[in-house]
Homo-oligomer: A and B are copies of this chain.
């Protein structure tokens, strides 16, 4: 297996999906060891930082990539399997940013309120315990929370020559902010342009579902992934698979539309896997679907539909590539 290591220089980060030159060209089946900067672009390092002062809106959510995958053509399926995610710093940060987040007026839910108090929370990692430490800014409450590393952002170049900010989740993936983008997950994306042009970023040491305030425990990350290509079979929206679940993410507004997308896509997937009629799949979905919200803070809201494989007869998707990637991953860790 080809293994490529890539630690970008600061001027190599990109801030969009689409519109960028490739950082490198890789063959399908390549393993990548990638370093990603945190979503703040390392501008926040202390509780004394004032987000509105130190953050530069042009340089948020830096992406490592994009990578050009040889042979990838529109209509193909890119499979990205997450082998390992290891925090690359000893601390993570979260911030309240004016008019950003789910429980505040925003530039979209535009209201007449002044912004909420801004501020920073620093989470020190306890490597032995594998926890990050939350402590209040007012009062002295402290609690250690398990590290559960994930990638907030995995995305491809969009179709139609569009270029979206790396803050956007869409059909092409992007900033979906789902905790399911974790070690052991294989994500499938429809390829829109030659080379697929995928990138990753936005490492989270942990995150609740919804990412309410808009920022998780953000941190630089060392990621090991295997990238593979399936000719054809492009899903309309990102599909995820781990050993235990089938998953689809929809991203739109209002949130019921995100949900509708993920549900209809899962009905389609159930149809493919089990040969079910659409109404039968709708009925079955109704009784077995899990629906964990991913984000309600980004330019689109992301909602996941998730089904436990254990409830259904065994099937393989995309020619069983997930199991194969799991096997291949063993040689890397």
Contacts and interface: CB of A to CB of B under 8 A. Distances in A.
Interface of A: 15-16, 18-19, 57-58, 94, 96, 102-105, 107-114, 116-117, 119, 121, 134, 136-139, 141, 143, 145-146, 160-165, 206-217, 250, 252-257, 259-261, 263-265, 267, 274-280, 282-293, 296, 301, 303, 305, 311-313
A276 B136 contact: yes
Nearest to A138: B277
A282 B212 contact: yes
A160 B312 contact: no
Given A58-B160, A161-B15, A259-B210, A311 B145 contact: yes
A103 B112 contact: yes
Contact of A289 (B96, B209, B287): B209
A264 B141 contact: no
Nearest to A104: B111
A293 B291 contact: yes
A113 B113 contact: yes
A303 B312 contact: no
A206 B141 contact: no
A109 to B, nearest CB: 6
A17 to B, nearest CB: 10
A322 to B, nearest CB: 21
28 contacts: A19-B161, A102-B256, A103-B111, A105-B111, A105-B113, A110-B264, A111-B113, A112-B278, A112-B282, A113-B113, A113-B116, A134-B284, A136-B276, A138-B277, A138-B279, A138-B280, A139-B275, A141-B275, A145-B311, A146-B311, A162-B163, A163-B163, A206-B287, A209-B290, A210-B291, A211-B286, A214-B286, A254-B256
Contacts of A107: 261
Contact of A112 (B136, B139, B264, B293): B264
